[in-house]
Chain A
Amino acid sequence: MPLLETRGLCKAFGGLRAVNNVSLSVDEGEILGIIGPNGAGKTTLFNTICGVYRPDAGEVLFAGKPIHGLRPNRVARLGIGRTFQASRPFRGLTVEDNVRAAYGVRYHGGWRSLWGSPRAPDARQRAQELLEEVGLAHVAGMEAGQLSLGLQRRLEIARALALEPRLLMLDEPAAGISHEEGRQLMELVRRLRQRGMTVVLIEHNMQMVMNLCDRLVVLNYGEVIAQGKPAEIGRHPAVIEAYLGKEVAHA
């Protein structure tokens, strides 16, 4: 059974079909890449899977159970962590607090969360571990808004990891960061996968996509135009057409 599956997923805004009949699946332990030209609907797809949008039609199944229509915080707690295209840490909080906020989720019961402190030793230790994992332990006390973009992205990943997710959904994690940071990012994702994490990745950085992903799904105008291994996709005429235009594809 695939860990994540969408069946005929549709989401429209006004007259625009941002996601049109998208069916894909991700197996446990896989790294799936979602690529496509700008505006192809990739982030909308993420948002629909994670509960930010309610799909107009279709289903999303996580470990066999339907999750479409659930609120994002429910989806997160079920085991899906995500990052955002525009880096969105909690700017006014420290790096440590960013991670602890996510970790505190197990105390989500409202009034119950008044007892128990993020400053307690076990919570601090867990946060420390997560920060070390992504290489941010040295800036734990810094205000998140002060970090460089590359570090902010790592912080978002650490935050997503705090939930102990089974699936990690990364939206353009390599956007705007340096080559070296991109390399470190790839290392991090590989390490995570080695420990059993499943990853779905939206990326434009082709080198990262080709080297990291086991499989690719190509979107254009909200529809899946191709699926398969990176090597095959690179030769697929529809894909080339989507990126470079008709003339080049049929040249």
Chain B
Amino acid sequence: MGRAVPDVVIPAYYITMAIITGIYIVLALSLNIITGFAGQPNMGHAAFFGIGAYTLAILTTRYEVAYWIAAVAAAVAAGAVGSLLGLISLRVREDFLAITTIGINFVVVSIFLYHPFFGQAFGIGNIPMPSLLGRTLDRGGLLVVVALAVLLVIWISRRVEGSWFGLALESLREDEQAAEAVGIDTRRFKVLAFTLGTALAGFAGALYASFMSFISPGDFTFPLSITILCMAVVGGLGTIRGPVVGAIILSLAPEVFRFVLEYRLLVYGGLLVVMMRLQPAGLLGRGSFLMRQVERWPLRGRGPAAIP
């Protein structure tokens, strides 16, 4: 693979960073459907990332299932469990729901860690790369796949945002009882939001598994869930540009500012607090400081012309 393309030598490092960033973008956008559009707190998103990764890993290494079938299965598996979470969310309100998602993250990781079927602490290795037209892709090829996945998820997000589905989600986010009163079946839409968001995370998990070629339970713990949430929130929950930019910033920042790596958590934590205090809508959220500057320019702004 790669012979048809001019032999441009891109340092492996950049390819790696691009793949990681791409996967984070997919994760942040998938979470955005659940927590941004539908307003349902999900602090355990990494669990579904993990379900996707493990599904792909097990199907390809143990049962020799074709890659793309396994990748779809990864999305389906994650979405199936996600729909269960969606059903749980019907019984359980905001705060309770947030805690439940943390619990689910924890339980899922524990299952990976303790059950022999999932390789326990040893994880699963030798995970293959995707293959296309009979040839196995290399990292460059995987990057193309990830880039396509990013475009796909952006397209899905825009589709949702501009559709009745999206409007229904936003309505139930704003006021669930009022949404019911205007005929929106909030239950059905909540479950659908969870299913879609988690399935996409599962798909990202499949790509991640190939990228790493080896996965273990520690890759999918609660801190990762918080990181994904942080990306979406810092960028601007409920928008599409927000999670994209948030993911880019937060996955590249440790590289750009090397010293930040040592203080990474300090920065993450501090950033979350500062953002929530000063700009809860996110850097690029509606009505945020940056967006207001953008809207002031003679470019066409989006949304209500809120010039303070």
Contact = CB atoms under 8 A, between A and B. Distances in A.
In-complex A–B contact (CB below 8 Å)? yes
Interface string B165-199: 10110110111011111111111110010000000
B163 A93 contact: no
A69 to B, nearest CB: 15
B175 to A, nearest CB: 5
A113 B305 CA distance: 28
B183 A77 contact: yes
Interface of A: 50-52, 71-73, 76-77, 81-82, 84, 88-94, 97, 100-102, 104-105, 107-108, 110-111, 113-119, 141-143, 159-160, 162-163
A243 to B, nearest CB: 29
16 contacts: A52-B177, A71-B185, A72-B177, A73-B182, A73-B185, A81-B182, A97-B170, A101-B167, A101-B179, A102-B182, A108-B183, A108-B188, A111-B192, A118-B167, A143-B304, A163-B183
Nearest to B180: A72
A240 to B, nearest CB: 34
A82 B181 contact: yes
B164 interface: yes
Interface string B295-308: 00000000111100
A-B pairs, top 10 by smallest CB distance, nearest first, are A102-B182, A105-B183, A90-B174, A76-B183, A104-B164, A72-B180, A113-B164, A113-B165, A107-B164, A101-B171
B183 A73 contact: yes
A84 B174 contact: no
A129 to B, nearest CB: 17
Contacts of B181: 50, 72-73, 76, 81-82, 84, 160
B134 interface: no
Most buried by B among A76, A82, A84, A116: A76
A168 to B, nearest CB: 12
Interface of B: 159-160, 162-165, 167-168, 170-171, 173-175, 177-189, 192, 286, 303-306
A76 B180 contact: yes
A159 B182 contact: yes
A118 to B, nearest CB: 5
Given A90-B175, A114-B165, A141 B185 contact: no
A118 B164 contact: yes
A152 B188 CA distance: 28
Contacts, number: 116
Contacts of A102: 182-184
B236 to A, nearest CB: 13
Contact of B182 (A51, A52, A160): A160
Nearest to A90: B174
B183 A117 contact: no
Given A73-B183, A101-B184, 8 more contacts: A50-B181, A52-B180, A93-B167, A100-B167, A101-B170, A101-B182, A114-B164, A117-B162
A95 B63 CA distance: 54
Nearest to A159: B182
A102 B171 CA distance: 9
Contacts of A97: 167, 170
Nearest to B178: A88
Nearest to A163: B183
A38 to B, nearest CB: 21
Contact of B192 (A52, A77, A90, A110): A110
A100 B164 CA distance: 9
Contacts of A76: 180-183
Contacts of A73: 179-186
Most buried by A among B164, B171, B189, B192: B164
Given A76-B182, A162-B182, A117 B163 contact: yes
Nearest to B187: A71
B300 to A, nearest CB: 14
Contacts of B165: 110-111, 113-114
A12 B187 CA distance: 25
A116 B163 contact: yes
A111 B169 CA distance: 12
Contacts of A108: 168, 183-185, 188
Contacts of A107: 164
A118 B168 CA distance: 11
A48 B69 CA distance: 49
Nearest to A140: B304
Nearest to A83: B181
Nearest to B162: A117
Given A114-B165, A115-B163, A93 B170 contact: yes
Contacts of B185: 71, 73, 108, 110
A138 to B, nearest CB: 14
A128 to B, nearest CB: 16
Contacts of B163: 113-118
A93 B178 contact: no
A66 B147 CA distance: 54
